[in-house]
Amino acid sequence: MSKKELKTVSPDVKWKDITPGGVIPYAGNAELFKTGDWRSMKPIWLKEKCKQCLLCYPVCPDTSILIDQEGKRVDFDFDHCKGCGVCVKVCPFKAIDFVEEDK
């Protein structure tokens, strides 16, 4: 069964469409889910303070720090950033603010 064939379980799903034992055969992958919905805190990129050192890029567990064609960091992917704050801690130039999510 491919990832695309996996269905969200609901009362309409037939038993034959469920994997044996209800096992999820693939590791959870944040790419498939909008983990940004979980966020209670939000990083704010302060472009004018950013030195483009890219230290924040490899530490993001959700690859939510986007890099453009020229290799420069741009704004966050807020669909997937879950607000863990690791990038905020790692930035040596205080170029990322961390504020409460405005829901």
CA distance 16 to 63: 35
Could you write out the DSSP letters of every residue in 35-49? GGGG-SEEEEE-TTT
33 part of the interface to ligand SF4, by CB under 6 A: no
Q: Which stretch binds ligand SF4 (CB under 6 A): 1-9, 10-18, 20-28, 92-100?
A: 92-100
Whole-number Å distance between alpha carbons of 43 and 50? 13
Nearest residue (CB) to ligand SF4, 6 versus 86: 86
- Return the bridge partners of 73, or none: 67
Nearest distance from residue 57's CB to ligand SF4, in Å?
7
Residue ranges binding ligand SF4 (CB under 6 A): 43, 50-56, 59-62, 64-65, 73, 76, 81-87, 91, 93, 95-96
